[in-house]
Structure 1
Amino acid sequence: MARFSINFGKSLQSFKYAFKGLLEVFKNENNFRFHLLATSITVGMGFYFSVTTTEWLFIIVFIGMVTMAEVFNTAMEKMVDWQSPDPNPQAGKIKDVAAAAVLLASGAAFVGGILIFYKYFMCL
């Protein structure tokens, strides 16, 4: 029979590293701060318009999707810069593709936000 155990010390250390990474992205990535501003506006509108629970779920998924894409993009850019400090067309393509993931996530979130908030703005 398999033994199941959790090392809480290691788990707490993992959270420490994760928050350290979030702080790094927040301090050094302008696009991440822009997405946090958009998040703040969206959450504020959600409270102002008293969106439904289902709409909140979609908003939370959109926010998570965009911020995760931005964090992954940042990690990819840092790794590429570390591995290829000199200008390199292939490195540029990798960074462009990672940025495209953020663009796609942001576009989907934007369209989803329009679908959620459209009816509320039409009632003003």
Structure 2
Amino acid sequence: MKQMMKQTIQRFQYTFQGCRWMLNKDSKFLQHIVMAVAVVLLNIILGIDSIQFALTMTAVFLVIITEVMNTAIEYVVDLVTDEYHDLAMKAKDVAAFGVLLAAIYALMIAAIVYLPYMM
């Protein structure tokens, strides 16, 4: 049992290392985490229902996940080439566009959920 617990902790070591790299490399990632906490607190304060809570959290996590994937793509592209290459630029730009789409979705969900509380 003790060995299995140690192996499980070791497996998560790489996951936490990835989180540290995200926090060190990308200041936007920390902003996303702060926003996620703010959304949870706002949801609690407003007393929104479980469906709205799930929608807002899905939107927040979609932005965080796409930001993580964008950073992973940037790392891989940078690994492959140090020189400017049109395909490298396209890969990075398309990944960044994915983050933008997720952010637009999050804004749409925020408008749907929170605007009625403001009126």
Fold match (TM-score > 0.5): yes
Root-mean-square deviation (CA, aligned residues, Å) is 1.5
Post-superposition, which runs of at least 4 consecutive aligned residues in structure 1 deviate over 6 A? none
Partner of 1:99: 96
Deviation at 1:121, TM superposition (A): 1.1
Deviation at 1:42, TM superposition (A): 2.0
Deviation at 1:8, TM superposition (A): 5.3
Answer whether contact 2:74 2:92 (CA < 8 A) is retained. yes
Where in structure 2 are there 5+ consecutive unaligned residues? none
Partner of 1:55: 52
Alignment: residue pair count: 116
Partner of 2:75: 78
**If the length of structure 2 is used for normalisation, what is the TM-score?**
0.87
For each residue in 1:78-116, what CA deviation from the matched residue of structure 2 results, as whole angstroms up to 9, or x when unmatched?
110111111111100000001111111111011001101
CA distance, structure 1, for counterparts of residue 24 and residue 89 of structure 2: 24
Where in structure 1 are there 5+ consecutive unaligned residues? 1-6
Identity of aligned residues (%): 27
